[in-house]
């Protein structure tokens, strides 16, 4: 039996008409040998392959929740790790990744007190197909790297062209990761890292995006060897970084500053295709929106109510329904979830909270040595009520780092699918240290 992998993309389409007319059973056996993510991509070859893959092979597993946590000691970050929450109903998780940076060392300062060297500050930008996008906030502008926990590989991207200027200005910004987005286009199989340079404008305005592309099927635009500028004009050329970024079906979304409209940026065409208004807030309430993904669709979380201990808080989640990537005029917002929290300090996990039948919430740490927690709740129809009598299932197994004195804080919950496809097909890689 032939064991060679069929060609992908345009080569496969041409081959389908010139001899790749295999018996269906043989095709199924070949397809079953491929990784699930690569097999799912081959649906694009032709209608016959799409039907065979849909009807005769297992569908890719839905993403599980991935909690990114940072361990700290005496208010100094020590290390970071990522835990896959495989079973929310039972509160089970497992560690899939841990930073390899050496632990910061204690030293005496000028006042003869023990302090830690601040040499660790890594944050998660996002995840796509089991690949983690990380940002080292110690570097001006942020240093981006990719990591695949399943293969133990990592890949460092070149610095932004303007990072040297930020070094000269002596900026003290520590949240560079907020200006980055990580996306994947399922049609071209291309990964894209996008940087929005809106830090230095009080109105969040920028003239162009910085874009770096990896992988793909060889179609335009090609994979990058350096960062490229993609001009953005008009109302879309501003960004509220605290609202976050969400990529759905090859389109990157962000919220504009001021008027607060949702921008749709096509990653393949590298242009803005539309902007649309956010849902109208309830009368008498302000609005503070954050974007999220809800089961493959764009969502917007309304954090209008203030978080206050002992005060009921209602959080509404809206989902963009109808239409599609090519017909956004028919898309409308519909309120999908309402979550009420009473007498417990929990809020929806961000940037992603919905996984299967469960909704995840996070809780702030209560002090030194007390870990932040993730809770799982089965979402009933209509409204979810969270309180001291029904706090949810606490996820166990999230460790407190290398030392018992370390505390842990949750720094984001993302979607994760294990993918053993190597990063080496992008460019030169190096192995993560144990």
Where in the chain are the domains? 10-56, 64-431
CA–CA distance from 279 to each of 60, 74, 225, 289, 302 (Å)? 32, 42, 40, 10, 9
Residue 222 scores a pLDDT above 70 = no
How many other C-beta atoms can be found within 10 angstroms of the C-beta atom of residue 112? 6
- Residue 232 sits at the vertex; the CA angle it makes with 265 and 202, to the nearest 5 degrees, is 105
Give backbone dihedrals phi and psi of 173, rounded to 5 degrees, phi first: -60, 130
Spatial CA neighbour of 142 closest among 157, 130, 132, 127: 157
Give the per-residue pLDDT at 310: 42
Please give the Cα distance from 198 to 241 (Å, whole number).
8
Give the per-residue pLDDT at 329: 66
Residue 11 scores a pLDDT above 80 = no
Residue that has been written with the tokens 């028919």 in this structure: 330
CATH number 2.115.10 given to 64-431: yes
How many other C-beta atoms can be found within 10 angstroms of the C-beta atom of residue 311? 11
Residue 212 scores a pLDDT above 50 = yes
SS3 31: helix
SS3 74: coil
Q: How far apart are the first and last CA of the chain?
A: 39
pLDDT tens digits, 30-60 = 888 887 777 877 877 888 888 888 888 887 7
Give backbone dihedrals phi and psi of 225, rounded to 5 degrees, phi first: -115, -10
Structure tokens at 425: 């097909």
Residue 376 scores a pLDDT above 70 = yes
Q: What average pLDDT is seen over the chain?
A: 79
Q: What percent of the chain has pLDDT over 90?
A: 32
Residue 429 scores a pLDDT above 70 = no
Residue 370 scores a pLDDT above 80 = no
Q: Which of 75-89, 137-151, 277-291 has the lowest mean pLDDT?
A: 277-291
Residue 215 scores a pLDDT above 90 = no
pLDDT tens digits, 341-364 = 888 888 889 999 999 889 999 886
The whole-number average pLDDT for the span 81-109 is: 82
Structure tokens at 162: 């303007």
């Amino acid at each position: 039996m032939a064991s060679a992998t069929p060609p992908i993309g345009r080569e496969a389409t041409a081959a389908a008409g010139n001899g790749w007319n295999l018996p269906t059973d043989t095709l199924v056996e070949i397809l079953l040998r491929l990784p699930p993510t690569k097999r799912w991509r081959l649906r694009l070859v032709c209608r016959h392959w799409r039907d065979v893959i849909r009807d005769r092979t297992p569908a890719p597993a839905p993403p599980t929740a991935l909690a990114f946590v940072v361990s700290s000691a005496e208010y100094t970050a020590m290390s970071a790790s990522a835990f896959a929450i495989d079973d929310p109903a039972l509160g089970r998780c497992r560690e899939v990744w841990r930073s390899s940076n050496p632990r910061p060392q204690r030293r005496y300062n000028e006042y003869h007190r023990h302090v830690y060297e601040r040499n660790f500050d890594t944050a998660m930008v996002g995840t796509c197909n089991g690949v983690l996008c990380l940002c080292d906030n110690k570097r001006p502008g942020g240093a981006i790297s990719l990591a695949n926990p399943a293969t133990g590989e990592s890949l460092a991207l070149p610095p932004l062209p303007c990072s040297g200027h930020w070094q000269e200005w002596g900026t003290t910004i520590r949240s560079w990761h907020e200006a980055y987005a990580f996306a994947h286009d399922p049609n071209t199989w291309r990964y894209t890292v996008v940087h929005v340079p809106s830090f230095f404008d009080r109105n969040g305005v920028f003239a162009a995006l910085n874009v770096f592309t990896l992988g793909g099927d060889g179609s335009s635009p090609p994979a990058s060897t350096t960062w490229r500028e993609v001009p953005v004009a008009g109302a879309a050329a501003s960004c509220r970084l605290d609202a976050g970024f969400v990529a759905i079906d090859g389109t990157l979304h962000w919220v504009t500053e001021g008027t607060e409209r949702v921008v749709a940026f096509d990653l393949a065409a590298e242009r803005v295709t539309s902007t649309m208004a956010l849902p109208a807030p309830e009368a008498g309430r302000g609005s503070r929106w954050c974007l999220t993904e809800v089961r493959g669709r764009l969502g917007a979380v309304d954090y209008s109510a203030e978080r206050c201990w002992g005060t009921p808080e209602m959080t509404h989640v809206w989902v963009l329904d109808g239409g599609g990537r090519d017909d956004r005029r028919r898309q409308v917002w519909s309120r999908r979830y309402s979550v009420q929290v009473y007498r417990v300090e929990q809020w929806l996990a961000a940037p992603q909270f919905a996984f299967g039948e469960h909704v995840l919430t996070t809780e702030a740490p209560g002090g030194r040595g007390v870990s932040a927690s993730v809770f799982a709740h089965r979402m009933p129809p209509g409204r979810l009520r969270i309180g001291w009598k029904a706090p949810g299932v606490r996820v166990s197994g999230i460790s407190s780092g290398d030392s018992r004195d370390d505390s842990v804080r949750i720094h984001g919950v993302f979607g994760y699918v294990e993918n053993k496809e190597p990063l080496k097909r992008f460019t030169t890689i190096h192995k993560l240290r144990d």
